[in-house]
Amino acid sequence: MPQIDWKLPSIALLDTVTARRERMADEIKRNVRVIESTLQTFGVECKIVGVNPGPAVTQYEVQPGPGVQVKRITALQNDLSLALAAAPLRIEAPIPGKSAVGIEVPNKSASLVTIREVIETAAFREGTNKLALGLGNDVSGQSIVADLTRMPHLLIAGATGQGKSVCINALITSLLFQVTPDHLRLLLIDPKRVELTGYNGLPHLALPVLVESHQAAAALRWAVAEMDRRYKLFSAEGVRNIAAYNEKATQKLARTLPYIVIVIDELADLMMVAAGEIEELICRIAQLARAVGIHLIIATQRPSTDIITGLIKANIPSRIAFAVGSQVDSRVILDTGGAEKLLGRGDMLYQPVDAGKPTRIQGAFVSDPEVEGVVNYWKSQGPPRYMEEILEEGATSEWEGEKREERKLDPLFARSARAVAAEGAASVSLVQRKFNVGYSRAGRIVDQLAEHRVVGGYQGSKSREVLMTLPDVDELLERLGIE
């Protein structure tokens, strides 16, 4: 195929910022008075030393008086919320780098942050970021731009309809505005079949958007093999990372290696089909792939421990949380509360790998017509060059072969699966009692049940959650060829 001289898209493809942030000065003045008087009513001496108006919330910087403990301010969160007639309220105590407590009050009317306004900033255009991602604006109205190569992987979670899919579109659009298909290959995995299929035909794609779970697993297997191949190349060239390799390759007029970004729009759907293998592949990539230029962006609307497992969390330190229903869900994503107090519609907490506390951001919005315009621009320059070998190379799974050999299903697997589905509870002691087996064997059987998603993950002293009904179990056993 002839070499194509790719041209980056013009910012004119994106909508202009129609909703400039015009803050009502009297709203801010009123809130300042209410916050100070409410705190003084409860005997907390303090003064407001700064106001940061943002797109969705305004942060008021409260400086406690001499001898006033910070916890006295945080304890009055509900009283402040009542006085301001604003819920939910979030208190940041203290604001990182400042001797003040931040009280974040939702604006009466939130203004839109467009992807164009983030992409036009100097931080995005002139930064040293290799793969810049335009996230949105913080509470003071500053655009936040992150570098995927430093993250080096990103986990996005939140309840349905809170802005997760728009965020993924904004991240992909950010990449399409700065990197050509010669330097970036995308693997888009969309088990829901509706969120990412609009990118089909994009020249950056290594394959058409993957919608089947077995294709997704094959793509992840290929990514692990590609990672190993790249490490061997680096070893032969005496370099440590993709930037050094590409610099050497350019000097030799040799072919450079593209970055590979794998986007998974719904992790829960993949984990329901092959939890053990998917978790292992994700962890392997997350642990080692940074240096070779392979990065993961993973999203889920089910922030539970059987989807966002401890291993996945440990290996993906950069995270974004959208609004969730409870503090428990917030802790699953961020290891701290706060996401349960977000407002929805793109309001997020961003926890980068190198930060102790999450940053509140109003996510950048990109519309479907804008995405379509950018994709059509790239399609007009040339067709995608699909790497068909990905599915062929990833078709054979170690998990199915050697590893499955190591852990052949116990002869009691089928009876145990039916028993726990009928009981509605699962534990090692239950299997021991039902089938009169020792602790070790019962433990292995329960592990195999968890591997096949018959039961949920380990929950300490509590019984494991049963995830399948009897008809589901029968269907699974038929698939496995077990009577």
Residue range 244-265: mean pLDDT, rounded: 91
pLDDT for position 24? 60
Average pLDDT over every residue of 1-22 = 74
Q: Reply yes or no: is the peptide bond before residue 88 cis, omega within 30 of 0.
A: yes
- Model confidence at 58: pLDDT above 70: yes
pLDDT grade for 200, boundaries at 50, 70 and 90: very high
The whole-number average pLDDT for the span 28-36 is 89
- At 229, the pLDDT band (50, 70, 90 cuts) reads very high
Q: What is the mean pLDDT of residues 93-103?
A: 88
pLDDT band with cut points at 50, 70 and 90 for residue 196: very high
Q: Which residue has the higher pLDDT, 383 or 213?
A: 383
Of residues 101, 50, 110, 109, the one with CA closest to residue 80: 101
Q: How does residue 231 score in pLDDT terms, banded at 50, 70 and 90? A: very high
How does pLDDT run across 165-193, given as a tens digit for each residue? 999 999 999 999 999 999 999 999 998 88
Output the pLDDT for position 2: 60
Domain(s) labelled CATH 3.30.980.40 in the chain stretch across 25-106
State the Cα–Cα distance between residues 246 and 234, nearest whole angstrom: 10
Who's near 399: CB < 8 A, 6+ residues apart?
274, 276, 277, 280
Q: What is the model's pLDDT at position 394?
A: 63
Give residue 278's pLDDT: 84
For domain 115-393, say whether CATH 2.40.30.170 is its number: no
Q: What is the pLDDT of residue 39?
A: 92
Handedness of CA 371, 373, 376, 378 (dihedral sign): negative
Give the residue-averaged pLDDT of 119-128.
84
Q: Please check whether the domain covering 25-106 is classified as CATH 3.40.50.720.
A: no
**Which range has the top average pLDDT, 159-163, 174-178, 407-411, 465-469?**
174-178
pLDDT digits (tens, 9 = 90+) for 469-483: 898 888 888 888 776
CA angle 370, 373, 379 (to 5 degrees): 145
Residue spans in the chain of domains classed CATH 3.40.50.300: 115-393
Residue 344's nearest CA partner among 363, 330, 357, 326 is 363
Over 60: is that where the pLDDT of 442 sits?
A: yes
101 pLDDT band (50/70/90 cuts)? very high
- Checking if the pLDDT of 406 tops 80, the result is no
Q: Lowest mean pLDDT of 3-7, 14-18, 240-244, 315-319, name the range.
A: 14-18
Residue 429 scores a pLDDT above 60: yes
Between 41 and 273, the more confident residue is 41
Looking at domain 407-480, does it have CATH number 1.10.10.10? yes
Q: What is the pLDDT of residue 355?
A: 79
Provide the pLDDT for residue 180.
93
- Among 18-32, 288-302, 388-402, the range scoring the smallest mean pLDDT is 388-402
Query: Using an 8 Å Cβ cutoff, are 120 and 21 in contact?
Result: no
- The band of 395, judged by pLDDT with boundaries at 50, 70 and 90, is low
Environment class of 380 (CB within 10 Å of its CB; exposed 0-12, middle 13-18, buried 19+): exposed
- pLDDT above 60 (res 249): yes
Q: What is the mean pLDDT of residues 257-286?
A: 86
Pairing of strands 90-92, 101-106: antiparallel
Query: How high is the pLDDT of residue 85?
Result: 86
Tell whether the model's pLDDT for residue 403 goes beyond 50. no
Task: Name the least confident of 219-223, 235-239, 395-399.
Answer: 395-399
pTM: 0.75
Predicted confidence (pLDDT) per residue in 342-378, tens digit? 888 899 999 998 877 899 999 999 999 999 999 999 9
349 with 340: CB under 8 angstroms? no
Cβ-based neighbours of 411, under 8 Å, separated by 6 or more: none
Higher pLDDT among residues 125 and 373, named by residue: 373
Q: What is the mean pLDDT of the chain?
A: 86
- 109-127: average pLDDT: 85
**Cα 383–Cα 173–Cα 6 angle in degrees, nearest 5:** 40
Asked if pLDDT for residue 14 goes beyond 50, the answer is: yes
